[in-house]
Chain A
Amino acid sequence: MHDKTLTELAAGLRAGDFSSEELTRACLERIAEHDGTLNSFITVDEEHALAQARAADARLRQGEAGPLTGIPVAQKDIFCTDGVLTTCASRMLENFIAPYSATVVEKFDAAGAVMIGKTNMDEFAMGSSNETSYYGPVRNPWNPETVPGGSSGGSAAAVAARLVPAATGTDTGGSIRQPAALCGVTGLKPTYGRVSRWGMIAFASSLDQGGPIARSAEDAALLLGVMAGFDERDSTSIDRPVPDYTATLNDDIRGLKIGLPKEYFGEGLEAGVAQAVEAALDEYRRLGAEIVEISLPNTHLAVPAYYVVAPAECSSNLSRFDGVRFGHRCEEPEDLEDLYKRSRGEGFGAEVKRRIMIGTYALSAGYYDAYYLKAQKVRRLIRDDFLRAFEQVDVIMGPTTPAPAFRLGEKTDDPITMYLSDIYTIAVNLAGLPGMSIPAGFVNGLPVGLQLIGNHFDEARLLNVAHRYQQVTDHHLQGPAPYV
């Protein structure tokens, strides 16, 4: 059962081949069996999951089921879940039971999905390897000595290892696409404003966006259909109808114009990854697409701009973790300053502190214009690059990451090298565009991701283009040997 995709499982539930309770128990058993090694979950709520599964079975019997009714879904531990521990993988929130649910969680609940647990991640979503988690690193199921990517590493690893058919992620600079690529699964970061941020613990508010991680584009289409939509509780969410993403999956892509940014194929890209991407492009040629070289001239500014904007916003967003109302509080504070310093000093890990300090510096009097304001101007340039490109092409493609999964500990002492692993994904967030990563082959037994970038609100096209590729290839069907 665990090797079935979400779409196949949904069909099985409807046909009565198995119940949601059976399916949920099967997932729980696999988590119990494998997660000791993988460490992809922070919280598994068996009781809650089984109760939801039984309710889903009742809905299925009454014929009131939607496509996700009865399907176990894991939530990244950045989404608040009412009555369930929500840690953001930080000691700061080690004891935080959220008193409300995120809109995304409510939508899955309403669809009848089963919330099976909360997945591990980089602390406050700050990281590209899942090594900054207070709960320890997640292992990549393809090779336990390598990282799963981050920050949604737990979600990607859990889906890749077939512990759960689908999971949510969030993506601020590549945090859905990069782990999806490194774990060989399908991940989609929607257009900024497409999925509500209410209840999603903020890292960098102007960049954060929730999205699905699954085994195929078809599954991702079903998940996005549930997650997307206007939410009056999020002022930055956009009031625009949600299309049926599954309806256009099979649309013909002959004549599709694919742009290849020459900047994404330069120095730093591993040869094996480049070859896998080339092979994928050949596949698209066979499907009738036209490949056009394009230029995104400000690409080299994306990482520096991102590492001003994101830390600046995070330095302010994380100010509420002060030990006063919730979260970690130091023992016996001497006075207010001591309370702040020790609570935050003890509660946050090194990477979070580094980014708070960078952001605080960038916003300080006398530096604001030189850093924050300038970064915002660069952001506009990057966005304009993409919008110009989309006048010529329908989608943009390239590698998701410059290299496959790296070894645990390999980059932890060198933040800059770590930051550069997001070099192809970050610009998409700065421009607010939708982006996907789909499996496109392997290098030395490790998965390679192909990145698809669409124009604003063009998720349906991305899913269509990804699905057509998955119809003629089987990379997405491959699983890591011990877990298949």
Chain B
Amino acid sequence: MEWETVIGLEIHTQLATKSKIFSGASTAYGAAPNTQACAVDLGLPGVLPVLNKAVVDMAIRFGLAIEAEIAPLSIFARKNYFYPDLPKGYQISQYELPIVGLGRVTIELEDGSTKVIGITRAHLEEDAGKSLHEDFHGMTGIDLNRAGTPLLEIVSEPDLRSPQEAVAYMKKIHALVRYLEISDGNMQEGSFRCDANVSVRPRGSHEFGTRTELKNINSFRFVEKAIEYEVERQIEILESGGAVVQETRLFDPDKGETRPMRSKEEAMDYRYFPDPDLLPVEITPEMIEKVRAEMPELPDAKRQRFIEAYRLSEYDAGILTASREMADYFETVAKAIEDAKLAANWVMGELTGHLNRENREIGESPVSADQLAGLLKRILDNTISGKIAKEVFEAMWAGEGDADTIIAERGLKQITDTSALEAMVDEVIANNPKQVEQFRAGKEKVLGFFVGQIMKATQGKANPAQVNELLRKKLSS
């Protein structure tokens, strides 16, 4: 039988506020345990939450970006369960009335086609703390620094049909929240993670199969691997006549497999009810318009603009707008040198190559956009050739300074002095009468030989266009 995979993702993205969603404590990552947890975060008797208004604007921004309805009235609810890193015994979340309603995003697939993925809702909630099971010899340590950190939970429709689509969708949302500057999207620090709901069904069927929920996956690669494993596991069960059990499973990245965490029978009853300590969040059309006016350019719009303004191909524009940092980098270079094609080639070529080789993000590039522009300007004004530029780039990457310094220190300046070049051309012609004969007999290819001789003599510093022109002139005369 042929099987169809059905996937829905719940993405938790940490909102980039300075203070927590319901208290004034800092959200900065990496502080000593429990040093960024105030009375509210600790859930002391008598404390009360006060909503950080910055998160509302961020949620609106996200809602606008996915063309969703922004709820004029949304409600915070308590999700009740006991866990040592959940100080109040409940998590403040949103349940029946989330702040962002039905929306959608378009994802690009590897074959170049696109697909629209529905987003059921996005809601605001607070994060829990962390339980630390190592280093405590049979005890558990609790760090409440993360407790109360604002999260936006983004729930997709079950529209995804393969692990690859799931990854494309997750990357799309990741780029979007970073574009919108509502999250740093840092996956190592847990600022962007997801749960995947996975089921399979016979192709052509309209009923959903029994699903499992894969919890807390924090990388694109793990999402793909976890879903791949889970799909295979479910198909195997079904094909051997068994039934998939509805349950929550954990992905173990070391073993590359998922294993059960709790079954539906043990499923929690969270006893959601509206939090009486918080007022409903009211959002007026004026608030929405204010946020709309301050919206940054979104990836799709930017890609279109790049195609039109910089005459880039659809493919190049797609790559250059994949992240906001990449787009900003490219645009800084392109504007500085007024040559978009050259800028695009270098950003996608040398720069991306170096980044990939060292597994770095563009934000961590040792060569800044301004420095790269400085280098490319020297190609455009004929100070150096493209080939020499690569050598200079290498030195810049190693931290030897900007292009002009390196060119000067290494004496890489191109020879453009016509009289000096003319003398060299004359000399090469005089020393190679046989090749001169061949060229004059119509063997155009021999020109390359002469150019090579001059480049060799100048260690590549001769201006190739000038050399070509001089050679043609002299050989034809």
- Residues on A lying within 8 angstroms of B by beta carbon are 79-80, 86, 88, 93, 96, 98-100, 102, 197-202, 204-206, 232-236, 312-313, 315-316, 318-322, 324-326, 336, 340, 360, 363-365, 368, 372
Contacts and interface: CB of A to CB of B under 8 A. Distances in A.
A372 B84 contact: no
30 contacts: A79-B46, A80-B44, A80-B45, A80-B46, A88-B45, A96-B45, A98-B44, A99-B39, A99-B44, A198-B47, A201-B45, A201-B46, A202-B45, A202-B46, A233-B50, A235-B51, A236-B278, A313-B276, A316-B89, A316-B90, A316-B273, A322-B89, A324-B84, A324-B87, A325-B43, A360-B271, A363-B80, A363-B273, A365-B271, A368-B273
B35 to A, nearest CB: 15
A316 B271 contact: yes
A98 B45 contact: yes
Given A320-B87, A322-B82, A363 B277 contact: no
A319 B277 contact: no
Interface centre among B45, B78, B90 (most CB of A within 10 A): B45
Of A88, A319, A340, chain B has the most CB atoms within 10 Å of the CB of: A319
Contact of B82 (A200, A205, A319, A325): A319
Contacts of B142: 324-325
B413 interface: no
Contacts of B50: 232-235
Q: Is the interface of B mostly helix, strand, loop or mixed?
A: loop
A372 B89 contact: no
Nearest to A324: B84
Interface string B256-293: 00000000000001011100111100000000000000
Given A312-B273, A319-B88, 5 more contacts: A80-B45, A234-B50, A316-B89, A324-B84, A325-B142
B293 to A, nearest CB: 28
B51 A86 contact: no
Given A96-B45, A198-B47, A201-B45, A316 B84 contact: no
Contacts of A79: 46
A234 B50 CA distance: 7
Interface in B29-50: 39, 42-50
A235 B48 contact: yes
A326 B82 CA distance: 15
Contacts of B277: 202, 205, 235-236
A236 B279 contact: yes
B82 A197 contact: no
Nearest to B140: A336
B45 A319 contact: no
Contact of A316 (B39, B46, B47, B80): B80
A298 B230 CA distance: 56
Nearest to A312: B273
B128 to A, nearest CB: 13
Contact of A319 (B48, B84, B89): B89
Contacts of A100: 39, 44
Nearest to B24: A233
Nearest to A80: B46
Contacts of A236: 276-279
Contacts of A205: 276-277
Contacts of A102: 46
A372 B46 contact: no
A364 B269 CA distance: 7
Nearest to B268: A365
Contacts of B51: 235
Contacts of B44: 80, 98-100, 320, 326
B45 A93 contact: yes
Interface in B45-65: 45-51
Across the A-B interface, the 10 shortest Cβ-Cβ residue pairs: A319-B89, A206-B276, A363-B271, A205-B276, A199-B46, A320-B43, A201-B45, A80-B46, A365-B269, A201-B46
Tell which of B49, B88, B271, B277 has the most Cβ of chain A within 10 Å: B271
Contacts of A368: 271-273
Contacts of B87: 320, 324-325
A112 to B, nearest CB: 23
A232 B271 CA distance: 28
B273 A319 contact: no
Contacts of B43: 320, 325
Interface in B69-123: 78, 80, 82, 84, 87-90
B45 A336 contact: no
A318 B142 CA distance: 20
Contacts of B271: 315-316, 360, 363-365, 368
Nearest to A198: B48
A86 B89 contact: no
Contacts of A324: 84, 87, 142
A88 B49 CA distance: 21
A98 B88 contact: no
Contacts of A202: 45-46, 277
A315 B78 CA distance: 11
Contacts of B89: 316, 318-320, 322
A290 to B, nearest CB: 38
A251 B349 CA distance: 86
Contacts of A364: 269, 271
Given A199-B46, A316-B78, A363-B80, A235 B279 contact: yes
A454 to B, nearest CB: 23
B15 to A, nearest CB: 19
Contacts of B45: 80, 86, 88, 93, 96, 98, 201-202, 320-321, 326
Nearest to B34: A325
Interface centre among B48, B78, B142, B279 (most CB of A within 10 A): B48
Contacts of B46: 79-80, 98, 102, 198-202
A200 B82 CA distance: 23
Contacts of B78: 316
A252 B464 CA distance: 105
A372 B96 CA distance: 15
B275 to A, nearest CB: 8
Interface string B220-253: 0000000000000000000000000000000000
